[in-house]
Amino acid sequence: MSTAKQAIGIFDSGIGGLTVAKAVRALLPGEPIIYVGDTARVPYGIKSEETVQRYAAEITKFLRRQDVKMIIIACNTVSAAALSVVQEQAGSVPVLDVISSGAEAALAHNDPAAHIGIIGTLATVHSKAYQRALLNLRQDISITAEACPLLVPLAEEGWIDHPVTRQTLRIYLESFRNKSIDRLILGCTHYPLFKSVIREVGGFQEDQLIDSAEVIARHARRLLTERNLLHPSDQPGDFTCYVSDRPQRFMELAERFLGDSVEADVIREWE
């Protein structure tokens, strides 16, 4: 039986999920958060479904041992490849994933005959999980998806508004040109960092870009409210990070993704 004072567990393949943690902290500042980044095994976006499922199961077991009241899958690749594995391991702990949230948000505007664009890692785009989630909600839509694998290393390198990034985006976003895309789903943890460059290079308005980090934070608040699990504190909740590799690089990059500095403990054993 969960109680309001337990933490929210958020996990990702590495550092990118801090964009989701940032949105959750902004909306639910009193909530204690336990963040897990699998920095030893990142990136997940180029790995097979079986491998991502195995990693996701291990992390979910770890989070259950931390006694979290909710699990948020911040990683699009895990949401695409391993949602049911996480749900199974989570038992009675509710699980939110960025793909269900992102798909709902992309269709919330009720654009007539909507054309939805998706960008994500190779694994996310090839899994067609976003496409399925969108079509489950509405069938009279068109979808164009493009894998953008180079954007993750560019974000981690800090090349946000950089000529190489602009040129890379020009090439990736070419498939959306002249297609009257209504909404573009930023289907990867790292892409919110590129929002303004994507708008500029792709010619999108702000409300056309769907940032699942903000949406999933709102879903988390709704679910916790419904279940009477909102933390009662008006003080900022603890933010605890666990990583699977040496924490130095994680701590160096964290500020760019979280907007705050962090300390991180190393997970020695998953089991």
Catalytic residue among 33, 52, 63, 75: 75
Among residues 9, 16, 102, 237, the one that binds ligand DGL under rule CB under 6 A: 16
Q: Is 86 in the site for ligand DGL (CB under 6 A)?
A: no
Interface residues for ligand DGL in 182-221 (CB under 6 A)?
188-190
Q: Yes or no: say if 13 and 77 are a contact pair by the CB < 8 Å rule.
A: yes
Catalytic residue among 10, 28, 188, 213: 188
Q: How far is the CB of 188 from ligand DGL (least distance, A)?
A: 4
16 vs 237, beta carbon nearer ligand DGL: 16
Three-class DSSP labels, the chain: CCCCCCCEEEEECCCCCHHHHHHHHHHCCCCCEEEEECCCCCCCCCCCHHHHHHHHHHHHHHHHHCCCCEEEECCHHHHHHHHHHHHHHHCCCCEEEHHHHHHHHHHCCCCCCCEEEEEECHHHHHHCHHHHHHHHHCCCCEEEEEECCCHHHHHHHCCCCCHHHHHHHHHHHHHHCCCCCCEEEEECCCHHHHHHHHHHHHCCCHHHEEEHHHHHHHHHHHHHHHCCCCCCCCCCCCEEEEECCCCHHHHHHHHHHHCCCCCEEECCCCC
Q: Is 43 in the site for ligand DGL (CB under 6 A)?
A: yes
126 vs 166, beta carbon nearer ligand DGL: 126
Pull the structure tokens for residue 50.
């079986």
Pull the structure tokens for residue 103.
């798909």
Distance CA 73, CA 181 (A): 27
Among residues 19, 77, 89, 244, the one that binds ligand DGL under rule CB under 6 A: 77
187 vs 237, beta carbon nearer ligand DGL: 187
Q: How far is the CB of 208 from ligand DGL (least distance, A)?
A: 20
Length of the chain: 271
Q: Is 45 in the site for ligand DGL (CB under 6 A)?
A: yes
Query: What is the rounded radius of gyration, in angstroms, for the C-alpha atoms of the chain?
Result: 18
89 vs 189, beta carbon nearer ligand DGL: 189
Among residues 11, 35, 44, 130, the one that binds ligand DGL under rule CB under 6 A: 44
Among residues 33, 70, 73, 152, the one that binds ligand DGL under rule CB under 6 A: 152
12 vs 224, beta carbon nearer ligand DGL: 12
- Let me know if 75 is a catalytic residue: yes
- Let me know if 241 is a catalytic residue: no
Among residues 42, 68, 114, 119, the one that binds ligand DGL under rule CB under 6 A: 42
Q: Is 13 in the site for ligand DGL (CB under 6 A)?
A: yes
Q: Is 100 in the site for ligand DGL (CB under 6 A)?
A: no
Task: Write each residue from 105 to 124 as x if it is in contact with ligand DGL (CB under 6 A), else as -, in one continuous string.
Answer: ----------------x--x
How many CA within 13 A on the CB side of residue 196? Answer: 3
Catalytic residues: 75, 188
Site residues, ligand DGL (CB under 6 A):
12-14, 16, 42-45, 75-77, 121, 124, 152, 188-190
